[in-house]
Amino acid sequence: MHVQEWLETVPAVAVYALVGLVIGLESLGIPLPGEIILVSSALLASQHGDIDPLVLGVCATAGAIIGDSIGYAIGRKGGRPLLAWLGAKFPRHFGEGHIATAERSFQKWGMWAVFFGRFVALLRIFAGPLAGVLRMPYWKFLTANVLGGILWAGGTTAVIYYVGIVAESWLKRFSWLGLVLAVLIGVTSVLVLKRKANKAAPAPVTAGD
């Protein structure tokens, strides 16, 4: 069953909780499809009035900020042994090559690595724990974490929600032409934002490179 089809079967409160939980767990270092859940939920909100996009965005933002903060605390306490353990458990995400690339990003960009890391799939997973391991001052981490969480979670929710609204309206008026144009506008907006983020944070390399 597709993610959005499954979300349609659960109450709105459960959708809010699920979005916050999945994004929170992803942010603290557990590889989960947080972005897929968020996008699917925002599209669902545009089609069903019982899901409030504002509440959805707040839950997603809270999950992102709290999850990253917990990841930071775990990384600060666990140190290098934590990275070794994560590498053994999730080699595709926490391999030596990935960690080395992320460390270079942190050394070069500092707070911006945390901020823009929210828009890069791999960095989003372990920006919090790695910032803690590298002992980034918490006030710097928190500032970048809050701003990045608001822009990524709130921005993604808003863009996808309004694209869904426009797509549905245009679909009724202009059939498939309106739908295609609306989707292209939304996808272009997301890609432009991600392109800027990828330029600011070096792209991760595959393990072994």
pLDDT band at 180 (very low <50, low <70, confident <90, very high): low
Does a structural domain hold residue 207?
no
C-alpha pair distances (Å), 139 with each of 30, 51, 80, 108, 168: 24, 34, 22, 18, 43
pLDDT band at 179 (very low <50, low <70, confident <90, very high): very low
Does a structural domain hold residue 205?
no
Lowest mean pLDDT among 49-58, 138-147, 200-209: 200-209
Dist. CA 125–CA 8, nearest whole Å: 27
Dist. CA 7–CA 208, nearest whole Å: 38
Q: Is 200's pLDDT higher than 60?
A: no
Structure confidence at residue 186 (pLDDT): 55
Does a structural domain hold residue 124?
yes
Domain span holding position 156: 3-200
Contact indicator for 202, 97 with CB cutoff of 8 Å? no
Structure confidence at residue 198 (pLDDT): 61
pLDDT band at 65 (very low <50, low <70, confident <90, very high): very high
Average pLDDT over residues 146-158: 91
For the segment 125-145, what is each residue's pLDDT rounded down to a tens digit?
Answer: 778 888 888 888 889 999 999
Does a structural domain hold residue 69?
yes
Contact indicator for 206, 97 with CB cutoff of 8 Å? yes
Contact indicator for 149, 118 with CB cutoff of 8 Å? yes
How many domains would you assign to the chain? 1
Does a structural domain hold residue 206?
no
For the segment 14-52, what is each residue's pLDDT rounded down to a tens digit?
Answer: 889 999 999 999 888 787 888 888 888 888 888 777 889
Does a structural domain hold residue 208?
no
Q: Is 6's pLDDT higher than 90?
A: no
Does a structural domain hold residue 183?
yes
pLDDT band at 8 (very low <50, low <70, confident <90, very high): low
Contact indicator for 27, 124 with CB cutoff of 8 Å? yes
Q: Is 53's pLDDT higher than 70?
A: yes
Distance of CA 180 to the CA centre of its chain: 25
Number of CB atoms found within 10 A of residue 104's CB? 13
Cβ neighbors of 130 (< 8 A, separation 6 or more) are 75, 83, 99, 102, 103, 106
Does a structural domain hold residue 209?
no
C-alpha pair distances (Å), 179 with each of 68, 108, 168, 191: 36, 42, 7, 18
